Amino acid sequence: MKNTAILLIDCPDRKGLVAAISSFLYTHGANILHADQHQDNDLKLFFMRIEWALEEFDLDDASFRRLFQPIADRLEMRWRLEYSAARPAMAIFVSRQLHCLADLLFRQRAGELPCRIPLIVSNHEDAADLARFYGVEFHHVPVEASRKAEAEERQLELLARAPVDLVALARYMQVLSPRFVAAYEERIINVHHSFLPAFGGARPYHAAFERGVKLIGATSHYVTAALDDGPIIEQDVVRVSHRDQIEDLMQKGRDLERVVLSRAVKWRLENRILAYANKTVVFD
Amino acid sequence: MKNTAILLIDCPDRKGLVAAISSFLYTHGANILHADQHQDNDLKLFFMRIEWALEEFDLDDASFRRLFQPIADRLEMRWRLEYSAARPAMAIFVSRQLHCLADLLFRQRAGELPCRIPLIVSNHEDAADLARFYGVEFHHVPVEASRKAEAEERQLELLARAPVDLVALARYMQVLSPRFVAAYEERIINVHHSFLPAFGGARPYHAAFERGVKLIGATSHYVTAALDDGPIIEQDVVRVSHRDQIEDLMQKGRDLERVVLSRAVKWRLENRILAYANKTVVFD
Amino acid sequence: MKNTAILLIDCPDRKGLVAAISSFLYTHGANILHADQHQDNDLKLFFMRIEWALEEFDLDDASFRRLFQPIADRLEMRWRLEYSAARPAMAIFVSRQLHCLADLLFRQRAGELPCRIPLIVSNHEDAADLARFYGVEFHHVPVEASRKAEAEERQLELLARAPVDLVALARYMQVLSPRFVAAYEERIINVHHSFLPAFGGARPYHAAFERGVKLIGATSHYVTAALDDGPIIEQDVVRVSHRDQIEDLMQKGRDLERVVLSRAVKWRLENRILAYANKTVVFD
Amino acid sequence: MKNTAILLIDCPDRKGLVAAISSFLYTHGANILHADQHQDNDLKLFFMRIEWALEEFDLDDASFRRLFQPIADRLEMRWRLEYSAARPAMAIFVSRQLHCLADLLFRQRAGELPCRIPLIVSNHEDAADLARFYGVEFHHVPVEASRKAEAEERQLELLARAPVDLVALARYMQVLSPRFVAAYEERIINVHHSFLPAFGGARPYHAAFERGVKLIGATSHYVTAALDDGPIIEQDVVRVSHRDQIEDLMQKGRDLERVVLSRAVKWRLENRILAYANKTVVFD
């Protein structure tokens, strides 16, 4: 895979945005590989993801930043420049259920997830041998109700030391404090085992079973201070029937959780997600 | 299609239920075509649907009822005997959106729904010409907030006069009173335009759009006194993205609503549904 | 709905395409509402759909065509300019099964399909009363095996007289001749009642039943001279089980056929489809 | 999980089958937990799966077999008696792609698959370390085109020595000989990376890409002498678009393959599958 540049932009919508961006890139020899854009017509916002080959592009990273900034200033853009060859560092937090962890580790090794995984953190010991098999540093950080702040302190130290760009909560069953969340804004992805906003909170499979729904779901989302309420990145569902007991719901749900979390992580790593107004734009 | 008998049973679970029922039927020459059963192991309940050919069955309806009742009494069964050749009468209530109505009428005429449709009731006039085309009596019963009881009185008279066995709320946008609901317990099927329990109440597509979900759904359910909370019969979802505006959600949703309501109606007419504990068993 | 302009482009891929197009539009005051593009990296082709508001656009149709053509020539573009307020004329061909016809007629009247329907043609009489209800001219053109050319002659006359821009084959069970197809290239949309390429040809539900598949499908596609082999526009599937008899497959299939055909028609009418290399790009 | 007995029956359909079986079980104190049946009305065949608790059942395995056989003889039944506590031995064959293997191993260890996995066989070495991690014996059996019979001989020896009850082909890219297949009839489950019967044979993702389909699928099936033509156990699909390149199809497909193979294996291990007429009945 050749390296490519990816530019992510959001700004107030106005005329001439695409012309300005594409002309700038053309002037510097960019061969555009993908471009996608979105407008929110209510909020008058513009979003764009544009990816180009670097072979004949005549700007290096510093020059791009220097020359593009005036355009961005004029058009009030927020922007990020990323490279497909980058391998950001992702930590995985997990509790006792290991299916999402195992899935992410396997995918990373198989080349599906363009990242490094330097760190696994858990409030239990169960994940230690999987971590060892995949050669990932494992830290057991117990979380006692009365000493939660202390545990978070330790976790934040581990993340800072690595350092990591992204945290995947792979069925990590502890609520993170607003302070923790703020430190990694739009960089923590959780999987919730229900079709949010239905069945937020604890024991969603039990709640779904009680309510007698005919489909169960899973949701991956950015973590915000409000529990189970961050911008949704991906959701999926599977059919259940009266024959399915709670255990069946849980098992069917595990397959959803894996897929829904790994898609969100992959899209994040490919710089396809823009979050705004507690929603996401996912460029495909 | 030959006529068949369908026996629906629910009772406390105990040994020997299937043996008792199947032996009784065998003794009288029944050729069983389908049989399905379900146990709720928590509540210790047993549910069964059994369908047999009538050709060589040696009991007429009255004899069956007389001879089967002692068995039912002994085993504490609630039971219903139905016939596939029956054509129950179904009323359709509708407001201004006609897609579910048009769908039910077309399916009934095409032979997909084994029922008669003697009556369409609406708080608007829009459905009048569709009713005329399909040769169904149409009644415009306006519902003013201050005179709702009066309107319901009129509706109940119409239902009683027909009389009808079943009422389909095909995007009927008025809440029925507990009294109305009680008069047609487990005989009113509604379609709600969301994946319940998410987005109950009014304007679910707007709520879904606001929340930024990645799938939208529709739910058909028996109507109970608690709004949007009756036993769910069927649900389905379709994928949406940031590109979908509220109008797109509504249009995609209409396709779901049609399918989800018509399935529920069909299953009800085929005597496939048993409701208990605010859930449904749907024998397939 | 305000009128908008839609430009569809395909051409050899090269640098500067987006810059050229967007700069041209910006220069003339276009407020771009949607833009989407695609590259086929194997065939080195570029595809674009771009939609803009007309309020402040300073070119009328003729001026646009005159001024854009030199750019198109230089960049070897094939292009079409369309308007969202246009209401192209669509004929519907149907045989005895009316579910797709009824669906298209209802959607058109409900405002889902931006087109006129001036003409229904059938080799049977069954559709006559639906046509009358929706106020559409109906022509019964019997197709006898030995006099097929004659029937096509009559059909082509009807299409030419209307005239129509698009033909929807709504379960029309006759094969069209290559000559007919050539006269309406990329303008005839068929729905085939299987998940193509599985079960092409006649009686696909029987074939699916025989093979014991666990999902059945439907496919909408542009009609080409090769039977069931044109560019696929949309497909969908539904789960079946050993409990489903052929009649169940047919009924479940009808729901798929409706949705799959109506989506294709809608996308075509919204100018979202570009066909090439026997495939389609569907801009969403 | 308590041990339960599972009886699987197929026989010519006739009256009194359910009565005979359920009365026999009731007489001996069986508490039936699940029962499901199916009739093929064309072929006049009857299929049944019945599961009961053993606590108060008064027959041991040998007594059951002795007492039930006369009933089976009289009613021309083929039958199998299985126990939910049994842990059959399953071998896994794999080539270079490890996602299905990793998935089966993880599920088995997590308790989702009620089996032992004593043996992994591969024509490559890639799977060796996964096998080691999960503590499963690994055998590298190279398959050269000219010495295929020899390789199969070695494989059959390994299977016989274990011995194994079931073989899962987890993306094993070699065709097995009719002789091999015959030795494990209805005991070899393969996953094919397409929605069969579309795209049988080699390189189905390439074929799907060429054809421009809008959904891709995967199929698990019993292996028979005819390539990709055995009784289908499970299928699933996922949506693709013109944006998906062959690599995207492959990645999306891998998620399907995992799910579709693991479901088939699980259902087989739970004794839910009856195969006949090149189809399957899957009791759910």
User: What are the pLDDT tens digits along chain B (284 aa)?
Assistant: 689 999 999 999 999 999 999 999 999 999 999 999 999 988 999 999 999 999 999 999 999 999 999 999 999 999 999 999 999 999 999 999 999 999 999 999 999 999 999 999 999 999 999 999 999 999 999 999 899 999 999 999 999 999 999 999 999 999 999 999 999 999 999 999 999 999 998 999 999 999 999 999 999 999 999 889 999 999 999 999 999 999 999 999 999 999 999 999 999 999 999 999 999 999 98
Listed by number, the residues of chain B in 244-263 with a beta carbon closer than 8 Å to a beta carbon of chain C are 251, 255, 259
Encode burial over A229-253: b for 16+ CB neighbours within 10 A, e otherwise: bbbbbbbbbbebebebeeebbbbbb
> Which of C228, C236, C255, C284 is flagged as catalytic?
C228
Q: What is the DSSP letter of D147?
A: G
Listed by number, the residues of chain B in 1-20 with a beta carbon closer than 8 Å to a beta carbon of chain D are 15-19
- Does any CB of chain D come closer than 8 Å to the CB of residue A99? yes
Determine the pLDDT at residue D41: 86
Q: Do D242 and C212 touch (CB under 8 A)?
A: no
User: H-type helices in A113-169, by residue range?
Assistant: 128-133, 148-161
Q: Mean of the pLDDT values across residues C78-96?
A: 98
Identity of the residue in B110, B241, B284 whose CB atom sits nearest the CB atom of C243:
B284
Determine the pLDDT at residue A41: 86
By the 8 A CB rule, do C264 and C220 touch?
Answer: yes
- The full set of domains in chain B, from first to last, is 4-83 (3.30.70.260), 90-282 (3.40.50.170)
By the 8 A CB rule, do D195 and D235 touch?
Answer: yes
Query: Model confidence at C187, in pLDDT bands (50, 70, 90)?
Result: very high
Determine the pLDDT at residue C21: 96
- Does any CB of chain D come closer than 8 Å to the CB of residue B174? no
- D24 to chain B: nearest residue by CA? B19
Complex ipTM, two decimals?
A: 0.95
Determine the pLDDT at residue C1: 67
pTM: 0.96
Residues B191, A3: Cα–Cα separation, whole Å? 51
- Does any CB of chain B come closer than 8 Å to the CB of residue D35? yes
Q: Mean of the pLDDT values across residues C71-83?
A: 97
Q: How far apart are the first and last CA of chain C?
A: 18
All residues of chain A having their beta carbon less than 8 Å from the beta carbon of residue C36 are 36-37
Nearest chain C Cα distance for residue D245, angstroms: 9
Identity of the residue in C110, C251, C259 whose CB atom sits nearest the CB atom of B112:
C251
Q: Mean of the pLDDT values across residues C56-82?
A: 97
- Active-site positions of A read 228
Residues C230, B184: Cα–Cα separation, whole Å? 51
**Given its phi and psi angles, is residue C83 left (phi above 0), alpha (psi -120 to 50 degrees) or beta?**
beta
Dihedrals phi, psi of B253, to nearest 5 degrees: -65, -35
- Give C8-41 pLDDT, tens digit per residue: 999 999 999 999 999 999 999 999 999 999 999 8
pLDDT along chain A (284 residues), means of 10: 93 95 96 92 94 96 98 97 97 98 97 97 98 98 93 97 98 96 97 95 94 97 93 98 96 97 98 97 95
CA B208-B211-B213 angle, 5° bins:
65
DSSP for chain C? ---EEEEEEEEE--TTHHHHHHHHHHHTT-EEEEEEEEEETTTTEEEEEEEEESTT----HHHHHHHHHHHHHHTT-EEEEEETT---EEEEEE-S--HHHHHHHHHHHHTSS-SEEEEEEESSSTTHHHHHHTT-EEEE----GGGHHHHHHHHHHHHHHTT-SEEEESS--SPPPHHHHHHTTT-EEEEESSSTTTT-SS-HHHHHHHHT-SEEEEEEEE--SSTT-SPEEEEEEEE--TT--HHHHHHHHHHHHHHHHHHHHHHHHTT-EEEETTEEEE--
Which H/E stretch holds residue B207?
Answer: helix B204-211
All residues of chain B having their beta carbon less than 8 Å from the beta carbon of residue D15 are 26, 29-32
Q: Do A112 and D251 touch (CB under 8 A)?
A: yes
Nearest chain A Cα distance for residue B122, angstroms: 29
Annotated catalytic residue B228: yes
Nearest chain A Cα distance for residue D179, angstroms: 35
Q: Do C22 and A22 touch (CB under 8 A)?
A: yes
DSSP for A237-261? EEE--TT--HHHHHHHHHHHHHHHH
By the 8 A CB rule, do B229 and B235 touch?
Answer: no
pLDDT tens-digit profile, chain D (284 residues): 689 999 999 999 999 999 999 999 999 999 999 999 999 988 999 999 999 999 999 999 999 999 999 999 999 999 999 999 999 999 999 999 999 999 999 999 999 999 999 999 999 999 999 999 999 999 999 999 899 999 999 999 999 999 999 999 999 999 999 999 999 999 999 999 999 999 998 999 999 999 999 999 999 999 999 889 999 999 999 999 999 999 999 999 999 999 999 999 999 999 999 999 999 999 98
> Which of B165, B228, B244, B255 is flagged as catalytic?
B228
- Does any CB of chain A come closer than 8 Å to the CB of residue C227? no
Which chains share 3+ C-beta pairs under 8 angstroms with C?
A, B, D
